[in-house]
Structure 1
Amino acid sequence: MKRLRKLRHLAGKACLAVLCCAVSFSVYAEQFMPVSDVRPGMTGYAKTVARGTQIETFPVEILGVMKNSGPSGDLILARFSGPLIEQTGGIAQGMSGSPVYVDGRLLGAVAYGWSFTNSKVGMITPIEDMVKLWNVPVREEIRPFNARESSLIPVNTPLMASGFDTASMDWMKNKLPQYQFMPVDTATAAEDSQAMPLEAGSSVAAAFVNGDMKLGAIGTVTYVDKDHIVAFGHPFLKKGSINYFMHNAYIFTIVNNMASSFKLGSVGAEIGRIDQDRGAGIAGNYRLAPGIPVVIHVRDLDTAAANLKRVKIVEDNELTPVLAATTVYNTANKTIDRMGGGTVTLNYTIRSSNGRDKDITRHNMYYSEDNINEKSIDELYNVLDILKHNEFIDYPVLDITVNADYSQARKQARIIDATAAPVVASPGDTIYFKITLHPYRGADEVKTMTFTVPKDQPYGDMVLEVRGGGVIPLPYLIEKQRYNLTDEIIDRLRHYKDFADLKKAIEKEDANNDLVIEILDQNVSMIDDDSKKTAKVKLQAKEPRGNPKDVLQPKKKGLHEDNDEDKKSSLPTPYIVKGDGQITIKIVSPEKRDKFLAGHHTLRSGKAVMSAETEDAAQTAEHSDKTVEQDKGNNQDKDKSSGEDKKSIFLSR
């Protein structure tokens, strides 16, 4: 009996489901024509906007049904005619989604054509397939479909660009070549600020960017049911679940050209969101999409021109990095109003919706002889791309703020000299540096820095690299060349343990205007004096009388030192710093250090350099401490530079 009651219960549920489906179908059947009812020779009409917001009609003749030819099922072959079609030369870009009615019922949307044929013949996507988009789970992913892979192609949806220049649109297209974007520079209309309800045949825009700049694809609404709409009749970018901004659109005219005619229109008021972009078309509703606010402040330091732009861009792993960089690039182009070289100082903050501990803040400087505008956006694009595709966490972006200052000046400086004291030290000691910079066409400047020897630093040679923040040490470059390592391979070898580690790597990445002192990995080859590949200047290891702090005490203002774990010290400068070199410091026990400092130093002509006596003493101290290490069970040979000049080498590049 219990089993019988269970079967009856399941049967009741099944009957209820069938009844619901029947009711649902009967509601649709009053308005929709199913594909099964379609016969060749049937006639009807389609609706679209050719100018302004006024909906017009044009005749349609059904030619047949193409079984399983579309991304979501059947397509209906049809011929389009009438004065409007004659005027436009066929189905124009932007007409995709135009609703087709036969016998007073909605059949579907004008959506596809054939390449190399008259565009007065095309395909209709059945409305039954389009309304299914309303029931697609938000997170569902389906197999991609690209109608461009066959002779069957969607009626293109032109991108209307307002406030963008050609250079920024070209940059965007190069970053997203798979979508074959065709941006069209357009005007604005008086109606753009007025939100209007959509109806079948209305123009609608699916926008990527809105605000002070607008970028969106214009098509036609196929069907509206209360607060839900379907449009286009084919995929836009095939993004699946997405949040484009849904806008009204105003059509200025239909432009005829040799390739294809298209609707020229403006992206009007934001009225909702497009949340599905799939094979049968796009679907949306009247709830606004959140998007990512981007605030861009650009200044030209030469002309005092400035621009503050506010936009909202869509949230998407692929699109967000490109759109953010494109809006910054465009703002820079319009502010400095020139092409060519120069220097940019860039500050930006990327805030995450997942909390302030996920935020990223960066500063950097760049110089380019050719195109400083384009150079300035590379880092922002790359960092956003890394964040959106990181392997650890989903990274929704709350907002982005960018400040960029441009100048034609070449704000570069080259390291030409550096001295350090003491040259014999113990773990935990501080090394003091004087580094001489030669600015481009400027007077030499001396920067003072400190470096703290890590408390766990082994006894023996500690080779310190002095370099500009954007310079890869020459020994690393030679090692990379030796093993034929490409940048791609190096990226693959770089691993992060978690998102916090990745965030730290991004934020602690040296800026190009930093002076950096760090420990050079002694597993790489050092460069000897016989190298023919580069001119060299000796770095001078300087040992003063008395307390080194009295001679080389650095100014604390503006000095930034990382902790021992990072084994690095950095100092920001107003220049992009070029050049690098190495200096060797002997790490010994505190007893050996004190003995050395007490009696082994000399001065020459007011400028201290390591003498032979000092060098021998340092080597003796090093040898003594190595013996102690070996006695403790540490048999590592710390002297990797036997036969080399112990005063180290500076490599000018």
Structure 2
Amino acid sequence: MQKIVRSVFAAVFLAVFSASMFGQTASAQSSVAGPKIMPLTEVKEGARGVARTVFSGTRSEEFGVEILGIVPGAVGPHQDMIIGRLSGANAERTFVFAGMSGSPVYVDGKLIGAIAYSFPFAKEPICGITPIEQMISIFERAPQPRPAASARAISIADLQAASWQPKVPSDLNVSGPVMSGMPMNSKMMAVAGQTFVPIATPVTFTGIAQTTLDVFAPELMKAGILPVASLGGGGKITPLKRAEATTLLGGDSVVVQLARGDISIAAAGTVTMRDNTKIYAFGHPYFGLGSTNLPMAESHVVVVVPNANNSFKMAVADSAVGAMTQDRATGIYGTLGEMPKMMPVRLKVTTSRGRNEEIKFETGIDDFLSPLVVNVGSLNSIAAHERGIGDTTITVKGEIAVRGEDTVRIERRFSGPQASAFAASAPAVPLAALLKSNFDGLDITGVDLNFSVVEGSKVAALERIAVDRTQVRAGETVAATLFIRTDTGRLVSQNVNIVIPADTPAGAMSLMIGDGTTVQKDAAIQQFVPKSTAELIRTLNSTKRPDLLYVYAYKTTAGAVIGSNEMPNLPPSMLATMNNDRTAGGSKPSTQKTIIDQVIPANEWVISGSQTIAIEVIR
């Protein structure tokens, strides 16, 4: 009997102990109830409340808020704005600052919304508050499933482009005018302070030089992003930290990490509300990405810098605790305990002095942000070790790894005063094309790049060409001499043997020798619509390089281009079927048949230009 009692007692004790221990862990992870919410209909003019944000360190501090009124539809349809005036020593010192976005405002102990908007150059700390009901409601709607990839034409010229620029919509974060006597699109609006604008989001760039940051700052600032260069090394890549009951509560500083490792790019804001594992923050869009997946981390504030133009918060990321999964009109939304998939990037620079430098970091996967981060990282890697003024010649070699597919090969050479900027864009162009394709199952597993730098210019132009004969039989060889003028005025020559294919029909033929960009302009295929990831990668790998010369010979014929495939010499019946009035799309007519398409081995020069000679194929 005693054994039975002892067994029962032990079982009960174990059950209670286990429940206690595991219950504490579970509650630490998820059981943090959100605050009471005050509906917008109960928010009254003249009401006084408090807001919370972090001015230094990790502890949020209170400051006063007086409700001045409500402006219906100030941001958009059914998106109202509460107007408030801040008070307190800290608020009156810094006014509304970049990084305050999301600071929760409470009236009578109930959450009414997030500080999210400001008046530029205001003489008082006036702010716009996004109602919490509208922040919650937009994220309660189930996100639409990601649409299947649709046919999208891609220009070959875009794939050959020497530079890539992030295209941020200029009106991404622009709100409507409030009681303004000026047109909404007037450039004087912000200067005159007659409109509320979203509080700028400070994005801290760590391990990145100011000179690099200056290149990208104009586009970022269009979207309300305030670039802040931070001293010190990059952000560490740390495992996901388990959320606790004190993790990311209302008023705490939060960062969204675009990159971490040897370089760090992190956007700072403030948590509006935590409801179990749900995190609401910012009160306005970050980039307006919609559904996304980026690391969300705790942070500590180094300092809030008072500034006559725009005070800002300098925050440093700590441990990742979750993922930002939504970025929409009324704020951002994230989930604790989730870790997004990241894309590793390795950059190796062989300097003009023979030293090897290596940088490693990882970035979130997004069709806008990923190419931008790789571009920033590449330019920074080159600029940190090479001259900022003068001519350089840079060779780029690397690859983008895609699970289950061939790797995307990257090989380009640039020369001149802008070589660094062009070389940094080389990986961004194909990476953007891949990510924007939206093909199902696309899984980019890494980017590996090598930059080799030498000082001086290697720019040259193809001045003229000469051939040993203009009449040739199929199967014979034409000897061509290329005369190349360097940027120093020296004339050099290069010999090229061109074999006429044995099946070339008799008749006139155009023989062009030129750089990849110029030759491509004369090709039948100017754009294509990839049907799969594999087809897109094949085209990326076969696209002509602007830094190489090509032999391109073609004859006039009747044919068509389907996708990225050229189909010359089609029978009249097929052409009639493809071009009849009852069908459209899927193909386009072509008047060329490619006879020769070969690359000329590279020499020490980066050569541009083209020359064309008429050749007759005789029997």
Pairwise same-fold verdict (TM > 0.5) = yes
Larger Cα Rg: Structure 1 or Structure 2? 1
Report if the CA contact (8 A) 2:261-2:360 is conserved.
yes
Deviations 1:582-637 (A, max 9, x none): 45544223xxxxxxxxxxxxxxxxxxxxxxxxxxxxxxxxxxxxxxxxxxxxxxxx
1:453/1:119 CA distance change after superposition, 3 Å: farther
Matched residue, 2:227 = 183
Aligned-pair CA distance for 1:325: 1.3
Counterpart in the other structure of 2:423: 376
**What residue is the counterpart of 1:338 in the other structure?**
388
Matched ranges for 1:7-406 at <5 A: 31-71=36-76, 73-88=79-94, 90-139=95-144, 146-150=173-177, 151-176=195-220, 178-188=222-232, 197-286=247-336, 287-301=338-352, 303-353=353-403, 355-357=404-406, 359-368=407-416, 370-390=417-437, 397-406=444-453
Counterpart position of 1:509: 543
**Residues in 2 aligned to 1:453 and 1:83: alpha-carbon distance in whole angstroms:** 83
Deviations 1:63-98 (A, max 9, x none): 33333434453333322211221332x222211111
Distance 1:299 1:189 in 2: 21
Whether the 8 Å contact between 1:160 and 1:267 is mirrored in structure 2 is no
Q: 2:553 aligns with which of 519, 543, 553?
A: 519
Partner Cα separation in structure 2 for residue 113 and residue 365 of structure 1: 46
CA distance in 2, matches of 1:199, 1:29: 9
Shift of 1:53: 0.9
> Whole-Å Cα distance in 2 between the matches of residues 204 and 391 of structure 1?
30
Give, in angstroms, the shift of residue 160 of structure 1: 1.2
Alignment counterpart, residue 601 of structure 2, candidates 571, 575, 599? 571
- Select the structure with the greater relative contact order (CA < 8 A; seq sep ≥ 6): 2
Alpha-carbon distance, 1:180 to partner: 4.1
Shift of 1:471: 5.2
What secondary structure, in the 3-state scheme, does the structure 2 residue paired with 1:246 have?
A: strand
Secondary structure of the structure 2 residue equivalent to 1:572 = coil
Q: 1:96 to 1:418 in 2, by over 3 A?
A: closer
| CA deviation vs aligned residue, 1:259-281 (integer Å, no higher than 9, x gap) | 12211222333332111111221
TM-score by length of 1: 0.68
Deviation at 1:505, TM superposition (A): 4.1
What amino acid sits opposite 2:527 in the alignment? Answer: R
Amino acid at match of 2:545: A
TM-score by length of 2: 0.71
Q: Which runs of 5+ in 2 are unaligned?
A: 1-31, 147-168, 178-194, 558-592
Q: 1:340 to 1:86 in 2, by over 3 A?
A: same
Q: 2-side partners of 1:519 and 1:471: how far apart?
A: 13
What CA deviation, in whole Å up to 9, does each residue of 1:494-536 have, x standing for no partner?
345645665444322333453422215679xxxxxxxxxxxxx
Instruction: Note the residue ranges of structure 1 that are not aligned, 5 or more in a row.
Output: 1-26, 478-489, 524-562, 590-653
Over 3 Å counting, the alpha-carbon distance change for 1:281 and 1:170 in structure 2 is same
Correspondence for 1:627: none
Q: Which amino acid aligns with 1:73?
A: Q
Cα distance, 1:28 vs structure 2: 8.3
Deviations 1:335-393 (A, max 9, x none): 2143221111111322335x314x4212111111x232113234433333444445988
Q: Which of the residues 427, 436, 454 maps onto 2:474?
A: 427
- Establish whether residue 451 from structure 1 lines up as the match of residue 498 from structure 2: yes
Q: Distance in 2 between matches of 1:135 and 1:441?
A: 65
Q: Share of identical aligned residues, percent?
A: 25
Q: Secondary structure at the match of 1:237?
A: coil
More strand by share: 2
Query: How far is 1:282 from its partner?
Result: 0.8
Task: For residue 224 of structure 1, report the CA deviation from its aligned partner.
Answer: 1.3
Larger proportion of helix: 1
Are 1:99 and 1:222, in contact at CA under 8 Å, matched by a contact in 2? yes
Q: 1:466 aligns with which of 493, 509, 513?
A: 513
**Shift of the alpha carbon at 1:459?**
0.6
Q: Aligned pair in 2 of structure 1 residues 237, 417: CA closer, same or farther (>3 Å)?
A: closer
The alpha-carbon distance between structure 1 residues 509 and 140, as it changes in their structure 2 partners (threshold 3 A), is closer
**8 Å Cα contact 1:40/1:62 also seen in 2:** yes
1:241/1:391 CA distance change after superposition, 3 Å: closer
Aligned equivalents of 2:340 and 2:399: distance in 1?
Answer: 22
Cα shift at 1:332: 0.7
**Matched length:** 504
How far does residue 328 in structure 1 lie from its aligned partner after superposition? 0.6
* Alignment check: 8 A CA contact 1:233 1:281 kept: yes
Equivalent AA in structure 1 for residue 606 of structure 2? I
1:425 and 1:34 map into 2 onto residues whose CA distance is 86
Letter in 2 for 1:49: V
SS in 1 for 2:446: strand
Pick which of 444-453 and 251-260 moved more. Answer: 444-453
1:320 aligns to what SS in structure 2? helix
Q: CA RMSD in A?
A: 3.8
In 2, the alpha carbon distance for the partners of 1:96 and 1:349 equals 39
The structural deviation recorded for 1:148 is: 3.5
